Amino acid sequence: MRHLGPRRCLTKLSPLTDVTHLFYVAWASRESEIENIAANTAMLRNVLDAVVPSAPNLQHVCLLTGRKHYIGSFDSLGKSKRHDPPFHEDLPRLPAPNFYYAQEDILFDSLGSRDGAVTWSVHRPTIIFGVAPTSLMNIIGTLCVYATICKHEGEPLRWPRSRIGWEGLSDASDADLIAEQHIWAAVDPNAKNEAFNCSNGDVFKWKHLWTTLAEQFELEAVGYIGEVERFKLELDDNFNSASGKYPSVGLVIGATGIVGISLVEILPLPDTPGGPWKVYAVSRRPRSSLLPPPSDGIAVETVLCDISDPADALTKLSPLTDVTHLFYVAWASRESEIENIAANTAMLRNVLDAVVPSAPNLQHVCLLTGRKHYMGSFYSFGKVKLHDPPFHEDLPRLPAPNFYYAQEDILFDSLRSRNGAVTWSVHRPTVIFGFAPTSLMNIVGTLCVYATICKREGEPLRWPGSRIGWESFSDASDADLIAEQQIWAAVDPNAKNEAFNCSNGDVFKWKHLWTTLAEQFELEAVGYIGEAERFKLEVAMKGKEELWEKIVQENNLAPTKLEQVGNWWLADIMVNNEENLDTMNKSKEHGFLGFRNTRSSFISWIDKMKGYKILSEKIIGQKILSLSHKLSLFLFLLSLLSSLLAFLS
């Protein structure tokens, strides 16, 4: 699982109360060791703060560091005197900043709260032989890519570096061996509260292993032949020759939408796969003042662009030549599906025409569509026969106009010009739980606004929809989960040129989530009680604009208009939906194992909206008595008067 900021980390890890052993093997790379210390200690602290207090059966924590414990960080190589090898675990720390030292201190401090009940071990491998598709430390993969390029170019496998590197003795650490040592330390009582080196137990010379590498690719091996012939495999001294300090540069189209906001928040995090990331956040309007500004130092650049205008798209987007990954999560709503097709294909085509020819390092394009791929557009509901759920990605297109189909065709056609060098993925969520202040698809916000108005009017939270909507199974897609799946697809080779459903991985009934919603606003929940009691929120909320303004003023909320925060036609569709579920099997089979607890997701987005003052914890202001409440009060007073008269007589 990807490590996250403290709030998300707490939300996702603290419920795992049955954890007995924690294996921390994550790290993040930054431009300096001071930045490395800040990023890596924050990540570890977030995990420990979430797990240690909440897992009563936690027994042991394994922390992976490495040989730089003895030789110093990359920053300090050649600047301070290192220990004389062979290195043993009791050597003192070097007098230079080192995130390994800082991580150990965080670990020891955190476990102090458990008074020795939780033990620890620190594991210090050397260069690791293993496989991870996008790991910065995949030395075997890197050398094999070099050998492959030599093979393709008809060149021998030339040793690039020094005589000492060629002739000197080296050792390595097999990734499986490191895992085995971790597991041993976690369960063996003799291994508690100790640091351990971890290498294979033998030594080698690169002059011998170089021959082995050449044999695997049927190449001639050329060893060290003098200082004049030395060269760097890296073309220049930048972290990445294509993108400077950022190996990945994400272009998020629709950055102020419900998924775009999550992408812009998650991509720059220190441990996001493929990172560190630079992000271009593209939207027609500036980021909402209802959202907090990005943190200082976060590599996010805002680009205001009307992508429906081809000239504006070309002018604003074609100069972004360092883009490596394009995340297209924008859409436009029109009065008919034919108009939807025209508008949405034009927007996507304008972006692709601007970016694909001008970004030589572009690797992947993610396209967000949705479940209407299987159910048809809003305008075809009830007019075409739907697929039988659960929906899987290989189902054929429905025989009706659908802008999702048209967008896919535009994408495939555009990328043909790159002859397979740029891959794609299509992501199909269902109803999205997330937060975008003025998004048309913010169903959680819409329902919360309805609950707030019920609270202010002294009404219970009445279910407006059908019996099927109330009783049937539904599923949802957390906005952060969609962003995580897109990032996975962008960087994982197993996810290329595929379409993926994206739902939380569980199911729910609105009858249960309705109670949860009522609890968040201290309301009585009234469920489905018959067809005669059904109503449309779009009708019921007409004329509530002034009331919402009063609620905003009385509770010191962020200034919003009712039409900005309540999308009633969408809510009416959601509460009358039939049972339409998808399957996440394909996504899991390809390697994406992300999930969300839908109830927890629902609550977390409500909490976020309260935190941003879109909603209020407590609704202040005079409650308006409804007709039913007035009638109840009248009958109560009439009964009281009758009793009083009977007593007096």
Give CA–CA dist 561/548, Å, rounded: 7
Provide φ and ψ at 360, rounded to 5°.
-65, -20
Give CA–CA dist 491/592, Å, rounded: 12
Residue position matching structure tokens 């290989």: 394
Give CA–CA dist 649/647, Å, rounded: 6
Give CA–CA dist 331/339, Å, rounded: 12
Give CA–CA dist 208/101, Å, rounded: 34
Judging by DSSP bridges, how do beta strands 204-205 and 169-170 pair with one another?
A: antiparallel
Q: In terms of C-beta density within 10 A (0-12 exposed, 13-18 middle, 19 or more buried), how is residue 227 classed? A: exposed
Give CA–CA dist 318/251, Å, rounded: 11
Give CA–CA dist 582/503, Å, rounded: 8
DSSP notation for 509-560: EHHHHHHHHHHHTT--EE----GGG---HHHHTTT-HHHHHHHHHHTTPPP-
* Cβ-contact 353, 411 below 8 angstroms: no
Within 13 A of 290's CA, how many CA atoms are on the CB side?
Answer: 23
Q: 129: which strand partners?
A: 174
Alpha helices (runs of H) in 271-326, residue ranges in sequence order: 310-317
Neighbours of 419 (CB within 10 A): 7
Give CA–CA dist 227/567, Å, rounded: 70
Give CA–CA dist 643/649, Å, rounded: 10
In the three-class reduction of DSSP (H, G, I as helix; E, B as strand; rest coil), residue 478 is classed as strand
SS3 of the chain: helix, strand, coil, percent, to 5:
40, 15, 45
Judging by DSSP bridges, how do beta strands 508-509 and 60-64 pair with one another?
A: unpaired
**Largest pairwise CA distance in the chain:** 121
Give CA–CA dist 64/50, Å, rounded: 19
Give CA–CA dist 337/380, Å, rounded: 8
* Cβ-contact 98, 72 below 8 angstroms: yes
Q: What tokens were used for 77?
A: 């190589």
In the three-class reduction of DSSP (H, G, I as helix; E, B as strand; rest coil), residue 248 is classed as strand
Rounded alpha-carbon distances, angstroms, from residue 450 to 32, 456, 536, 569: 50, 10, 12, 13
Provide φ and ψ at 164, rounded to 5°.
-65, -45
Render the burial of 4-43: b for 16+ CB within 10 Å, e for the rest.
bbeebbbbbbeeeeeeebbbbeebbbbeebebbbbbbbbb
The H or E element that residue 427 is part of is strand 423-429
Q: Which residues are catalytic?
A: 372, 404
Tally the residues of the chain.
649
In the three-class reduction of DSSP (H, G, I as helix; E, B as strand; rest coil), residue 350 is classed as helix
